[in-house]
Structures are given as structure tokens and as C-alpha cells.
Structure 1
Amino acid sequence: MKLKFKVTFNSVVGQNIFITGSCKELGNWDKDKAIALSYSHFAQWSIDMKIKSKDFEYLYFIKDDRDQSITEEWSKRSFSALNSKDSYILKDAWNYPNLPEFNLNTEFFEHIGVDIPVTEQKVSKKHTHQFNISFRPLHPNESVYLLGSIGELGSWNEENAIPMHWDGKGKWSVNLDLSQVNHQFSYKYLVVNPETNILKYFEEGENRIGLPSNVDEFIIQHDTGFKQPQHKKWRGSGIAVPVFSLRSERGLGVGEFLDLIEFGKWAKEAGFSMVQILPIHDTTAKFDWTDSYPYAAISVYALHPMYLNLNALKFKLSAKELKEIEAKAKELNQHDNVDYELVNNYKTKFLKKYFKENKKAILGDKSFKAFLKENEEWVKPYAAFSVLRDKNKTADFTQWKSNSKSSKATLTRMFGTKSKDLDAVMFYVFVQWQLHEQLSKAVEELHNLNLTLKGDLPIGIYRHSVDAWWNPELFHMDQQAGAPPDDFAVLGQNWEFPTYNWPRMKEDDFAWWKSRFQFMSRYFDAFRIDHILGFFRIWQIPLSATQGILGRFEPALPISLDELNFRGINLDLERLVEPYLHYDLIRLYFGSETEEVVSTYFDFKNDLGELRFKEEYNTQRKIKNTLAANHGHLERLLELAANVLFIKEDADEVRLHPRYGLNETNNFKWLPKDIQDKLYALYLDYFYNRQEQFWKAKGLEKLPALKQATNMLTCGEDLGMVPKVVPQVMNDLAIMSLQVQRMPSDEEIKFSNPHHAPYLSVVSPSSHDTSTLRQWWKEDREATQFFYNTMMGKKGAAPEELSEELLSIIVDQHLYSPALLSVIPLQEFLGMHPELRNPNEEIERINVPAVFPHYWRYRMHVTISDLINHKEFTNMLKDRHANAGRG
């Protein structure tokens, strides 16, 4: 066959276009054997080739001579030869990641979209052209048609528009005979009601241009970017609720996976399109309430046993067991909040007894065996880790008497037929099998309702986890991840997770990350990347520190002593990286206790009154480990330990990073004014200019490959101190941003306006990390008053309480936003109705980021059945969604 590949791309000097594909002539995906295209004019690149294969895939990529980088198109194309043709022109448009079709063709829209019948089309010898466009209509009675300037395309008469064929996978196409056309022509795609043949809308923008074919040539036109009018774009509504917060009559004091089914039925009736949940992985490490933190999972795969419904286990329960569960449910459901320890202790005890009694049937079950075989890469290490954790009474594998370092030999031994541990490891496999079965059933039922499920991908892994034990080379175990200070956590956050060894992960093309994403796609149609900033740079804190304030960005371009000297900042290294301590400074902190404090914690450096911490107190970690949590000196000593100007990158080389808030330290304030000015100028440059392009490169190194690993709709939690390049990269990759009204990305405004949110975004008035709106209303009277007068357009003094009416106004601001998704926590919706708002609003907050560890235990104060039976409330939400055009 003769093929001419033509692609449109606006290149710059230094960029060259190549093609690679799945056949020999295109290099079998080997980029070193890729074929270079030639540039002609007006952004046109082309190559003529002869190819034997009748079916193959291909894509284009850019080689940039300026930095030797390679940038691929976002998706592959497929070619299948038509029997009657042997010469083709493949006229392609570049597949940019942020084109609408790449989000519309995700799992998310496959489940909420309408059913469109697949139609086959034949090609005849007379056909000369095939037109293709990827676009998924999401409203009933919508099909894509073709209309153009020539008679064969309807001469712009809407009644003559040509229906296209749907392939069931997101693409429309039609074969046409344009053999009598001898000049270029213009055309557009439009959406028509196929039953009435009435036009719904044209795509917007300039007309597309088509070319005539030569004798015996067949032109395949691959078009991209259906330009849908803004008011016709689909917009959905999601409700956010942790699984543990669901309350049902049958529950055991905590929400369970199967509760999602009944909750989904209510959500569907109320007009929602999506349910969003928090991470659901096993966090059992310390066997106490601190394990309630859902972002500290001991496995990035294993699901949490507390979400298992005991009544729905595979093998039949006895009447005695059923009665016991019923009695326990009655007892545990009396609690306003989740009693994490009572719930998990009971379920674990029950499941171990159940496994012992049904062991033979379980181990012989075909479904169980299939689950073990399919998931052995992660479930065997998880089961072994769990057994060793139980034996050693700690998940800190560095403290284990044996097996502190993982090995395949350990798995072989523990899963051996004669192993003393076989029953113990098989118990954990059994629990994961049942969790998988129940969650899969819940997801299937949600999809049957045309509802989608959105998950949450934590940015970090727990330090004492299977992942750290099994793959230690992927992590920096001597560092801690967190977040820099902000208005919600003035000392920063220290999550205590190890940071990632990205260079090592890159060696196998981020296989560990891709595996995580693919595992999530088993259950979720969309997912939120927690702290997406971590893919550009993470806030890294040394183990010697306890507060996030002593962290720095990693990776980041450091500052050298030579640069400091060049800028006229001539300070010795000790003044730069050690806490600056002086007798007069200690007196400011401790007053009458100064003599006692100095003699206890400090040594004099010289007769100028300068001090240093004694060896046993010279890091925050030592101070915190030595003093009791309620010790009167603790917080002030920690602050003094953080009185530094720079963070030193490592012990050997002098690579420095400014401490966040450097200008607010006493160290800074006790410097000469000219040095202060130079330091502050350097500080501003470091945090807001110096790193931008460096971080952009790091984000683009990881995110494209990871996003392409699955077909989920991708959202990024991009809150906090956001580099300017992050929104650019997210937009280029069509990763939806998060817009929380009281946390605007623009530092010049107090609140973001949901009406100004971009389409590819998620808007929300609150989240699991913030107070609810009713709580927030009372936190800062000045902020509330400003919001009341400006964002709500109300006159006079703001009322003391956020009424149902006022709360509804805030919710409506988000429902009427142009954003693709509005995701609002359940508590906010309940607060809109006088009969359903919680009389005790103080127990509705899920997490306080500044408090670590925090007890994650919020539960609905009403049951799912109460919601289903409250038709007035359900219909009110349904009408609100309909009026706002959501769903």
C-alpha cells in the first residue's frame, strides 16, 4: 500500500516531527527507528511510504533539538486497510492531551452517558473519503452529523446534514463519495436529534477544511477537538462522603462498602451523578484510634477490613452468628461517631473465628483461588507483612526480630503447604477477597444507576507499610513528606511519610505508580490526586525535625555560598543553618524562667551572650522525644530550634534552601538592615521565580505517563503554595483543578467566585480538610461579614448563624458554576433542611490538618433510609440540580 501521512502541528525552530508505529516500516514502536516527516508549509508535516501491513497503530512525536526532549501525542491512532483501496492519505490533526475527547472518553462518561446504538458502515469502490471525529454525546437523542459547503455535504443546508456512524468506543465516522469534487471545501460537525432530524447545535469556531482526492486515493480525515458550545457542555454534581461516615440500620458502627448501594439509590433520586469518597485502604498499624487516618495506609492495594459487611460473607452464617451481629450492630450504632477501636476489634475477632470454621470451603473455593492468583504480586506481601506485624506487635519492621528486610524467600516459606503461618496469611487473603467482592458489587450497582464513583489517591505512603518494606529502594526512608505553612497550618504539615526516590522510579518507567493507578481503576471512574504538587516537588522534612516549618522543596535548585557572597550576604555557615540563640532572645520567650531554661537546655558559645542547644536538645526531634507533650517549655523550644535562615540539603556539600518565612524569624530580625533586604530579595526569587521551569520539567516527566496508565477521569488537588507552572501543566494535560471557594489560588482575593471557574475544574465550598460552612461562618467574623456583603450580595450585618436559606445560596453558587463538576460534602446538603441539619454542628468536621494525629470518625447523624424516606428533601435537591443544568 501507498500511504501519505500528513499531520498539522505548529512547530518552532528546533522541533522535528517523527512517526512510529506497530509495523516494521514504522519501527515497531522503537523511537530510534522512527521515520522523520518533512515540513512543507502552514504547519504541515508529511511523509510518503509503502507499508505491507493491513492493520497497524501509529502516533507522532516531537524531537526537540534545543533540549533533546521527546514529546509524544496523547493517543495512538489505528489504521485498517479497506479491501478495495491500495493508496491512502492519512490527514491527521495533532492529538493534544487537553482536547475534549480525552476526558469525554474516560470511564467516567461511559457510565453516565446515554446508550447510543452502534452502527456499521460499508465502504464501496466509489468512496473517496472517510471523516472521523471523537465525541461522546451525554444527553438523550443526540447524534453527530456532517455538513459542508459542497453539494455532497449538504451545501450548508441543515436538513441535508449527513448522519455519521457510532463505533461504541467514542468515535463517529462516515464514508463518502467525493470523486466529483476538485477543490478544497469547508465543513463542520453538528449534533442532531436523529428521531426528529432537528438541529441541536453546531460545533463552534472556524470551519474545517477538506481536500479533494486524486484518482485511486482514499483520504482518511482524523479530526479532533469537537468545539462544543459552553452552554451545551455536560455538567455534573457529586456528593462527597467518606465510606466510614455512612450510617445504616444494619451497620456495625461504621459505613461499609455495600452501604454505597443504598446511598447511591438516594443520590440518583436526588440528581447526583457521582459519589466521591476518601481513601479506603487498610491502615492497621498501631491497633488504636490513630489508625483512623485514611492517608496512612499500610498498603496502597489492600482494602480496609472495617468496610466488610459480615452478613454478606460468602458462606452462610449460623442463626447464632446472625443474632450476635444484630446485637452488636444495635450497640455500636448508638455512637454518634465511629469508635474505630471497638469496630475493628470486633470485626477482626469475628472474621478470624469465621475463617477458622469455614477454612476448608474458603481455600477450596474457585473464586478465592482465582483472586489469589490474579493478585499475588501484592496480596502475598501484604498478608505476610500483616502476620509479621501481628507477631511483633508493631508495623515498624525495623524493630522486628527477624524479616526486617523483605525477601521472596519469606513469602515462599510463609505460603508453603507445611508452613505454620499458612492459615494466618490465608486469613488476610480471604479478607481481601471478600472486600474485593463486596466493593465490586457496590460499584456494579452504582453503574447500573448511571452513577460514578470517584476515589482518592494519597500522595504519600506510610513509613511502616508493606510498600516501604517490600520496595525500600523506591523511597527515601531518611526523609519526611509534608506541606509548607499556610493559613490553615501556620507551622506547616509533617505527614511523616518517606519521600519518593523519583530517579529510581523513572528507571522502570514509573511501574509502581502505574500499578497503583491501574489498581484504582478496578473500582473508580474518576480519582483525585491528593496534593498533585508532589509530582512537581514535595515538601521534604529531615527526620531530625518534627514541624513542617523546617522543610524544603525537593527537588529544587539550591543556593551556594558563592551565590550568597556574590549577592553581598557575607554570613558564616553556622549563622545560616543553625538556630540563632541569644540570652536576650531567651528572656523574651521565658521571662522570669530564663535562668532555669538557659541552664537546662543551652550552653554559652561566647561572652557575647550567644547560646547553642545542648547536645541532648539540639534538634526538634530530640526536644519532643525528651519533653512530655504537655510540658510548658515544649512549644517555645521547638520554635527556637526553628530559628534558622536556611535548610542545609545534606551533610557533605553546602547546598542551601531558604527556610519558609525566613523574614519572620528572630534570626532574620537580628541582622543588619542591608543584609535583611538582600536576603529577602533572594528568598522571594527562590520561592516564586527560580524553580518554575525546573518544576515544570519534573511534572511533565511523570504526569503524562501516569495519566495514560488508566482511563479514569483525573482530578488534581492543587491547593496551597502552587507554582505558576502547575495550572499550565494541568490544563495542558486536561487534569481537572480543584477550586475551593475559601482557598482561592489568586492571593489578591479573599474568596474565589465559582461562576468564574474554568470548565475543566471541580468547585466546592468545603472539603474533608476544612470546617463545614456552618462552622466556618463562626470562625472569623470579619471574613464572614465580607463574604455576606460581597459574595452573597447581602446588606447589613451578617447573622450569627448560617441559616438554611443562606447555606442554600452558597450551594447554589457552586451548582450554577460553569465547572464540569460541583462536588459538595454531604454535611452541607444536610444543613440546607431544618429537619436534617445536625443539631450538633461541631461533630461534623472530618479532619483538622493542623492537628496530627487527628481522629477521623465523622458519621452521618441520620441514616441512609432517613434520606430515602425524606421525599421533600430529595426532590428539593433534584429540582436544584435540574434548574442548575447539572446531570
Structure 2
Amino acid sequence: MKLQFNINYQTYYGQDLLLNIVTGLNGGEHKYSAYRMHTADGYHWQVEINREVLPGIQLNYFYSIWRGDEEERREWETVVHHVVFNAERAQTYRVFDHWNDIPRDAYLYSSAVTDCITGRSLDKPSPNSFRKGVCIKVRAPQLGSSKRLFVLGTETMLGAWNPEKGLPMKHYGTNEWSIDLDAAQLTNNRVELKFFIKNDENSASPVWEYSDNRIVELPQMDEGDVVVYELDEAFFPIPPVRIAGSLVPVFSLRSESSFGIGDFGDLRKMIDWVSLTKQRLLQILPINDTTTTHTWTDSYPYSCISIFALHPQYVDLSALPKLNDKKQRDAFEKLRKELNVLPQIDYEQVNNAKNEYLHLLFEQEGKASIESPEFKTFFVETEHWLVPYAQYCHLRDKNGTADFSKWPDHNRWNEADRKALSSPRNKAYKDVAYYYYVQFVLATQLKAAHSYAQSKKVILKGDIPIGVNRYGCDVWSEPRYFNLNGQAGAPPDDFSVNGQNWGFPTYNWDEMIKDNCTWWVNRFRNMAKYFDAYRIDHVLGFFRIWEIPVNSVHGLLGQFAPSLGMSREEIEGYGLHWQEELFTEPFIADWVVDRIFREHADEVRGKYLEHTWGDRYRMRSEYCTQRKIEEAFTGELSEKDIWIRDGLYSLVSDVLFVRDHRDPNLFHPRISVQFDFIYESLYDSDKAIFNKLYNDYYYRRNNQFWYQEAMKKLPKLVNATRMLVCAEDLGMVPDCVAWVMNELRILSLEIQSMPKDPHLRFGHLGTNPYSSVSTISTHDMPTLRLWWDEDWPRTQDYFNNVLHREGPAPHPLPGWLARDIVSRHLSSPSMLCVLSIQDWMSIDETLRLAQPDAERINIPANPKHYWRYRMHVSLEDLMKRNDFNYDITDLIAQSGR
């Protein structure tokens, strides 16, 4: 069959337009056949190809712009063009398209909306026998599940403008509707038409599209010709979809069948509660395996050892076959009950017990499981990551450490080992088969929970951590993607005055970009098996990461990477006389030592410092870095020892400029140095100069550079799946972040107590952008009740000037006032309003915890925090709390969500 594709696109000299017919997927990239198009005027482009097609077949394709051998841009690939070949007698198809950039309402094309909220299935192609035909296609993403698109027009066959005779259209693609018309019945080559919506469930008046009538000019047609017109998206005066949801870590869930920790079975029960209360979204924290030490320090969910593997602690043992040995069954049941009544998670007991149970079950059931067709399919789909992961876990446990540099052999993954590890007859396979089995069980249970959420019209939202553990499987198996001489973290903020040091290696983006970010794209595609929305943790890391030297404990000596460092000449250009030693070496003077250490000053001078000249000192070589100081004070926990240790940390970081990690001739103003002694020692005139330089550097100098860096990575990632993309964009946010998020239609995070506008103390909920997630607190913050009591003057300001209530603010926060705050957030314009389970419960004084302190999930200032928060109410009891559940339902209904 002859296929002709036409598109209007204004190109410039040297640019070519290519048609790309999709033939499949290779990793995260479309596989396609490319055809160079032709033009006579640089605007009207056309190409003809011959291709064998059968009725009912669908052809997917997209367009791209090339200059020479380089692609300059391509269309939005998440939802590509497609043609369904319905005409049985067709000999020629002529397709008239328009260029598709990412639409402003891209959110409505996400699987979160189409597969969960709308839940509309696709129609089956209906072949026709027209001698010549016209196919009209249009995208209409606003339609709900009970609504159908109709077309009406001047022609008699189009209803002659009688809505009762409008023609129903077919839903063949994501939000795309089409209709096949018999061209022989058209009386005019100029077809005038318009689209409208009718509700399948009632006879309400039709809703007309918000536009003038459409005009389609048909070409001269012969028998066997079919013309396909893709029209601009239809827009209807329908309120935008707004969704309410809950945030709770899976490990925090509690049910009567739990084993001391929330699991994937509890996730289904939480979905039931979300659905019962008319919410439409459930957000969780990362669920990847974090096991390096088999101790409670592995409880940190953002330190994954594999971007694919799930944490064994989330297995729902009650959904698995029972152990045959009654004595073992009884012992585990006794332990389960003991762990399940604990107010918090006992991470070590829970994981030891679950691992023991799974080992016993694997001995009993494993052989049959790994010989099943379901497992074989799973293994084929996951083998690229599952085999290295299982080998890593085996070697970690065999060697008693996750630090693979200390293993006697196998210090790096050897691809040559894959064959033996994949063949059931080999000993190597038998050594790791247990880990295959556990991941198979976990994936099966999580997929079932995801399907269950979709059946309940609930969006399951996951979380993608920005970093990975430096001793994890990802670094072991693909070290080229990581810089191990740095540590990722965050600059100082409201959570941590010394910055945050996460200890993760930073990414080698040059290597990642060389292969089109396949590592990341595969990660996102794997997430799409389980989720319909996701949160990008610390999205700023895709623009630049806060990179801290490996010899630092705190984050103050970090610098943004990549970033444009400053030369000595640039610094002097601001008027600041360059003094390299003074500006880049720790500023240690007698008065500084006295102020930090007071009565211990002389001891510090004698033991930790060397006198240089005048009243100046330098650190002794054995204490010259924070890591050396940390090692020297290991196990020293007295108040005095901690005082001296932290004081020495601050001495090391007291510099005005940090030398660039890659080019020693470039420098970066040290973050937050205005609070340190070196800054205090400057003349007022030099302080003013430095502040101008500092503000230029952090808020203006790198903006365009960071925009370009983000656009090398993020478009590939957000277009890799149809999941709804949300981002945590808090902290020191450069202007370019909003540019990129708006361009890529990524939902921002809006927290009233942390407004994006630096001139405001509290944000105005009514000005939240639609493309945002509104919340009161995150897992890194105090809950609403904790926040209310931690700073009374701030709370008073909020009470009087935001809530517009008179008199003193009540303490502790009463339920009626918490309800008011929740109601205001639900009423914001944000597409999503997601509240933590603790903040939902704050509205009910009979249900919430007696002590607000027990609600805290994480304390970011403490890098060794024990993540063990658990709901105090079982999900079974929560389902029975009729008054509370009705209150939530009522709040959501009143807000229009």
C-alpha cells in the first residue's frame, strides 16, 4: 500500500524533517525506521512510502528535525501519532498531521488519569468497505469515563447541525478519538464540523468544544483513496481534574496480619481506605532494597543498593504458602504477634525473621516456583539487573560486608559470570536462586497491589531517590556511571544548618548522557510496572548536585557540580582583593578559638592546632579534615567531647572560598559563610563586595548553564513513561528550575510554610499553580501538630495573618483548627493535594496520637536517623472509624476534588 505523510513545519536552511515509524522499544528508546521528507518551500513537507498493511493494523510514528547528521529536536514521544488502517478497500492513505510538542495538559495523558481516574478502555477497530474514505482524528483529554465524543457538521451525514444526529467517535488511542466517513456521501470538499461531549449515563445537554467551527478541505480523491486528518486538540469548558490523596510509607502501615512492619498486603488495605474516603491517590516512600549491614542503619529508604530490586521486608508472608512444619509455624506466629504490637518498628528483628521465613519457604516451595512459567517470564524480563543483584547479595552475605573493595575477589561485576548464574544446572545459579525467588515474590505482590489500585480508581504514586548507596549493587556492577571521590548532599537549609551529607556517590553524567541516559530510562520504565505517578526526589540534582569532598562530614565545604567556578581575576573584578591563603585555608585566630571552645580553648590549642604566626593557627595534620576528626572522636560521647569535635568541624569549614574539585584555579564562594568567623573578620566594604559576588554566583551566574544541563537529561526521563511526573523542588532553587518544570509539565511541590517567593513568610494557597502538589508537611518535616508547637511566634503570625483569626493561637493544635487548615489546602488550585496520614488524623482528637513527637518520620539533620514510625491504628480499625472517614469524605466533596 502507498502511504503518504504530510506535515507543515517551518524549517530553516540546513534543516530536514524525518518521519520515524516506530517498530518497537530498545531499552528506553524507540526503535524506528526513518524516512527523509521532501519540501519545495521549507514549510510543506511530504514523504511517500510503500508498506504492506492489513485492516485493523495500527502504525505508530513521530517526526524529528535534523541538521546534517545531528538530531536537533523531536516531537513529544510519550503519546505518538498513529494511524489505524480500517479501510478494507484502500490502496492509498494520505495523512495530514501537525507537529506535536508536549501539550500544556500533558498531565491528562498520564496513566494516572487515563488508567486510574478515567479508566476508559480502547475501542476495537471497526473495518469499513468505503470506496474512498475520510478519517477525522482529534485528541480530547478532558473526557471522563462516562463521556463520549461526538462530531456534528453541515453535511447531512454529519447530522446537519442536529445534536440528536451527531456521530459517535471511536477511542483508538490515549485520549484520541477518530471517525471514518464515507467520502462518496459528502457533497462538498469543504467540510465544516464541530465536536461535542455527551454523557453515556444521562441525557444532559451536550458540552460543545470551546472553539469556532472546524474546516477540513478535502483533496481530489479517487477510488481506493483514504485521507486522514489529525486536527488540533479539542478543548471543553470543563473544570480541571483535582485529586486528593494520602502519603504514608509502606513500612508505617499496620494491620492485624502484619509482621511488625507494613507490607504489600497492607498496601492493598490502605488502598481500600483511600477509596472509601473518596481520595484518589496513595503516595509511598521508596521501597527498594537498602540492605548493606543487616542492622537498623539500613532502615534509611533513600539509600538503595539497587534501583530495581524491592526490599524483602515488604513481602506479605500471609499471602504465601504456609510452612509445613507446625512447630516452625507456631514459633513464627508467636513472634509475629509480639512484633506487631510494638509501637515502632524493630527493623532488625523484623528483617531477620522474614529472611529466615523466606529461606525456609524457599527450601519448601522454591524449586516449584522457579520452574513455573510465571517465574520464567519474570526472569526473562528482569535478567539484565536481577542476575548481578543476586550475585552481589550472595557475595555481600558470604563476605560479611557490602564494601566490595574488601572482598577477596569479585570486586566488580564480571559480565562473563552471567551465563553460569542464569543456568539452573550450575552451582553458581543454585547459590543465588534464593534471591531470584524473593524478588519474584515481591514483584508479583506489588504488581497485584498496583492492579488492585487501578481497579479501585486509585493512583499509586512511587518515589525515585536521587542517589544510590556507594556500596550498592549499582555502583558495583556499573561503576562508570558514578564519581566515587565525592559525596552527594544538600546545601544548608531550614532542616540542617550544616547542610546534608547523604554519602551517596555523585553521577558521572558525561557517561550517562553518552548512552542516552539508558540507566535512568530503564529505572523509570521499571517503576511504571508498579506505579502511575512518581515523585522525583531532589529534582535539583538533575540541574546540579551539591558535591561534598569525601574527607568532609558536614556539607558546608561542598560545591554545586557541575557549575561555573570563578577565577581569581573574576573575583578581583568585583573589587575584592584576592588573598588565596586567607580566603581558602581555615581561618583560625585566638579570638575564634576562645569564642568556640571557651574554657577548653587552651586544651584545643595545645592538642589540635599548630601556631603559625601572630595570633593565627592551623590544624595539625592528624586533624586537618572532618573525617580525621570524626575518626579521632569515635566512641567519645561525653558532652565535652562532642563540643570539641563539633567545634573542630566548624574550624575546618571556616573558609571564604572553596577550591573547585576539578580545576584548582577556579573557586566557589563557600555556602552560608556569612555566619562564620572569616566573614566576620572582613571590612564592611569587603563584606558588601562579597555579598554581591555571592548572590550573583548562586542566583544568576549558572542559571542558563544549569537549564542546559537539565535539558540534556530530564526530557528523556519524563518521556520514557506515561506516569504522572511530580518533583520535590525545595531548597536553594535557581530560577531555571521553574523554566524546565513548566516546559516538561512536571508538577511542583507547594508547601505553605516554605514559599517559593523569598519575600513571603507563608505562601498564599490560592496562588498555587494548577500543575503542582499541595501539601502541609513531607516525611522530612515536622507534622502539622509538631510544626504548630515548635515556634510559637511564627504560629501566632500564621494564626492571625494567614488564617485571619483573632486572639492568641491555641496550643496544642485543636482538631477543629487542624480541620480548617486541611480544608484550605484541599481548596487550593493544585492538581494534587496529598496529605500525610498524620496530618489527616490531626483533625480528629479522639484518633490522633497523644504525643505529636511520635509522629515524626525523619530528622534530616541526623544522617543516622532510625526510620521506624508506624501507624498506631490498624487499617482494619481505621476502616471502622465512620465519623473520621465521613469527615474526610465531606472535606474532599466541599473542596470539589
- What is the TM-score of this pair, normalised by structure 2? 0.91
- Alpha-carbon offset, residue 98 of structure 1: 3.2
For residue 549 of structure 1, give the secondary structure of its aligned residue in structure 2.
Answer: coil
Question: Against the structure 1 CA distance between its residues 119 and 366, is the aligned structure 2 distance closer, same or farther, given a 3 Å change threshold?
Answer: closer
- Report what 1:265 is aligned to: 272
- Report what 2:62 is aligned to: 59
Note the 1:811-850 alignment, pairs <5 A.
Answer: 811-850=822-861
The answer to whether the Cα contact below 8 Å between 2:535 and 2:728 also exists between their aligned partners in 1 is yes
The answer to whether the Cα contact below 8 Å between 2:196 and 2:208 also exists between their aligned partners in 1 is yes
Question: Against the structure 1 CA distance between its residues 203 and 281, is the aligned structure 2 distance closer, same or farther, given a 3 Å change threshold?
Answer: same
User: Does residue 151 of structure 2 align to residue 143 of structure 1?
Assistant: no
- Report what 1:94 is aligned to: 99
- Report what 2:559 is aligned to: 552
CA deviation profile, 1:640-699 (whole Å, cap 9, x unmatched): 211112222236641222211233332223233443333222211111111111111111
Listed as ranges, the gaps of 5+ residues in structure 2 are 24-29, 54-58
Q: Which letter maps to 1:132?
A: K
- What is the TM-score of this pair, normalised by structure 1? 0.92
User: Does residue 88 of structure 2 align to residue 76 of structure 1?
Assistant: no
- Alpha-carbon offset, residue 616 of structure 1: 1.2
Question: Against the structure 1 CA distance between its residues 413 and 127, is the aligned structure 2 distance closer, same or farther, given a 3 Å change threshold?
Answer: closer
Q: Which letter maps to 1:49?
A: V
Match of 2:180 among 175, 182, 185: 175
User: What is the alpha-carbon root mean square deviation over aligned residues?
Assistant: 3.0
Q: Which letter maps to 1:112?
A: I
- Alpha-carbon offset, residue 863 of structure 1: 0.4
Looking at structure 1, the residues matched to 518 and 794 of structure 2 have their Cα atoms a distance apart, in angstroms, of 46
The answer to whether the Cα contact below 8 Å between 2:134 and 2:180 also exists between their aligned partners in 1 is yes
Question: Against the structure 1 CA distance between its residues 621 and 341, is the aligned structure 2 distance closer, same or farther, given a 3 Å change threshold?
Answer: same
- Alpha-carbon offset, residue 320 of structure 1: 3.1
The worse-fitting range, judged by mean Cα deviation, of 561-570 and 208-217 is 208-217
The answer to whether the Cα contact below 8 Å between 2:366 and 2:437 also exists between their aligned partners in 1 is no
The worse-fitting range, judged by mean Cα deviation, of 572-581 and 543-552 is 572-581
- Alpha-carbon offset, residue 754 of structure 1: 3.0
For residue 763 of structure 1, give the secondary structure of its aligned residue in structure 2.
Answer: strand
Q: Which letter maps to 1:844?
A: E
The worse-fitting range, judged by mean Cα deviation, of 188-197 and 250-259 is 188-197
Question: Against the structure 1 CA distance between its residues 315 and 789, is the aligned structure 2 distance closer, same or farther, given a 3 Å change threshold?
Answer: same
- Report what 1:192 is aligned to: 198
The answer to whether the Cα contact below 8 Å between 1:4 and 1:47 also exists between their aligned partners in 2 is no
The answer to whether the Cα contact below 8 Å between 2:150 and 2:169 also exists between their aligned partners in 1 is yes
User: Does residue 211 of structure 2 align to residue 211 of structure 1?
Assistant: no
- Alpha-carbon offset, residue 745 of structure 1: 1.4
- Report what 1:858 is aligned to: 869
CA deviation profile, 1:449-480 (whole Å, cap 9, x unmatched): 22221111111001110001111111001111
Note the 1:220-299 alignment, pairs <5 A.
Answer: 220-229=228-237, 232-299=239-306
User: Does residue 109 of structure 2 align to residue 104 of structure 1?
Assistant: yes
Question: Against the structure 1 CA distance between its residues 659 and 201, is the aligned structure 2 distance closer, same or farther, given a 3 Å change threshold?
Answer: farther
Q: Which letter maps to 2:109?
A: L
- Report what 2:56 is aligned to: none
Looking at structure 2, the residues matched to 758 and 207 of structure 1 have their Cα atoms a distance apart, in angstroms, of 31
- Report what 2:208 is aligned to: 202
Match of 1:307 among 314, 338, 352: 314
Looking at structure 2, the residues matched to 221 and 806 of structure 1 have their Cα atoms a distance apart, in angstroms, of 55
The answer to whether the Cα contact below 8 Å between 2:3 and 2:51 also exists between their aligned partners in 1 is no
- Report what 2:616 is aligned to: 610
User: Does residue 571 of structure 2 align to residue 568 of structure 1?
Assistant: no
- Alpha-carbon offset, residue 591 of structure 1: 2.9
- Report what 2:26 is aligned to: none
Listed as ranges, the gaps of 5+ residues in structure 1 are none
For residue 303 of structure 2, give the secondary structure of its aligned residue in structure 1.
Answer: coil
Note the 1:442-841 alignment, pairs <5 A.
Answer: 442-606=449-613, 608-628=614-634, 630=637, 631=641, 632-650=643-661, 653-841=664-852
- Report what 2:46 is aligned to: 48
Question: Against the structure 1 CA distance between its residues 420 and 110, is the aligned structure 2 distance closer, same or farther, given a 3 Å change threshold?
Answer: closer
- Report what 2:883 is aligned to: 872
Note the 1:314-325 alignment, pairs <5 A.
Answer: 314=321, 317-325=324-332
Question: Against the structure 1 CA distance between its residues 267 and 553, is the aligned structure 2 distance closer, same or farther, given a 3 Å change threshold?
Answer: same
Looking at structure 2, the residues matched to 312 and 68 of structure 1 have their Cα atoms a distance apart, in angstroms, of 50
For residue 798 of structure 2, give the secondary structure of its aligned residue in structure 1.
Answer: helix
The worse-fitting range, judged by mean Cα deviation, of 692-701 and 474-483 is 692-701
The answer to whether the Cα contact below 8 Å between 1:101 and 1:226 also exists between their aligned partners in 2 is no
- How many residues get paired? 874
- Report what 1:20 is aligned to: 19
CA deviation profile, 1:317-368 (whole Å, cap 9, x unmatched): 4433332232112211221011111111222222223333445444544444
For residue 281 of structure 1, give the secondary structure of its aligned residue in structure 2.
Answer: coil
The answer to whether the Cα contact below 8 Å between 2:466 and 2:536 also exists between their aligned partners in 1 is yes
For residue 510 of structure 2, give the secondary structure of its aligned residue in structure 1.
Answer: helix
The answer to whether the Cα contact below 8 Å between 1:114 and 1:137 also exists between their aligned partners in 2 is no
- Alpha-carbon offset, residue 771 of structure 1: 0.9
Looking at structure 2, the residues matched to 127 and 161 of structure 1 have their Cα atoms a distance apart, in angstroms, of 21
Looking at structure 2, the residues matched to 335 and 141 of structure 1 have their Cα atoms a distance apart, in angstroms, of 46
For residue 597 of structure 2, give the secondary structure of its aligned residue in structure 1.
Answer: helix
The answer to whether the Cα contact below 8 Å between 2:114 and 2:120 also exists between their aligned partners in 1 is no
The answer to whether the Cα contact below 8 Å between 1:688 and 1:723 also exists between their aligned partners in 2 is yes
The answer to whether the Cα contact below 8 Å between 1:740 and 1:752 also exists between their aligned partners in 2 is yes
Note the 1:318-337 alignment, pairs <5 A.
Answer: 318-337=325-344
CA deviation profile, 1:578-634 (whole Å, cap 9, x unmatched): 22222222222223432221222222222x322221111111221222124632211
Looking at structure 2, the residues matched to 304 and 351 of structure 1 have their Cα atoms a distance apart, in angstroms, of 13
Question: Against the structure 1 CA distance between its residues 448 and 194, is the aligned structure 2 distance closer, same or farther, given a 3 Å change threshold?
Answer: closer
Question: Against the structure 1 CA distance between its residues 206 and 791, is the aligned structure 2 distance closer, same or farther, given a 3 Å change threshold?
Answer: farther
CA deviation profile, 1:846-878 (whole Å, cap 9, x unmatched): 111111111111111010110112222222222
Looking at structure 2, the residues matched to 370 and 150 of structure 1 have their Cα atoms a distance apart, in angstroms, of 53
Q: Identity over aligned residues, as a percent?
A: 35
The worse-fitting range, judged by mean Cα deviation, of 699-708 and 136-145 is 136-145
The answer to whether the Cα contact below 8 Å between 1:23 and 1:53 also exists between their aligned partners in 2 is no
For residue 758 of structure 1, give the secondary structure of its aligned residue in structure 2.
Answer: coil
Looking at structure 1, the residues matched to 212 and 793 of structure 2 have their Cα atoms a distance apart, in angstroms, of 49
Question: Against the structure 1 CA distance between its residues 13 and 884, is the aligned structure 2 distance closer, same or farther, given a 3 Å change threshold?
Answer: same
- Report what 2:432 is aligned to: 425
For residue 850 of structure 2, give the secondary structure of its aligned residue in structure 1.
Answer: coil
Looking at structure 2, the residues matched to 101 and 676 of structure 1 have their Cα atoms a distance apart, in angstroms, of 47
The answer to whether the Cα contact below 8 Å between 1:191 and 1:202 also exists between their aligned partners in 2 is yes
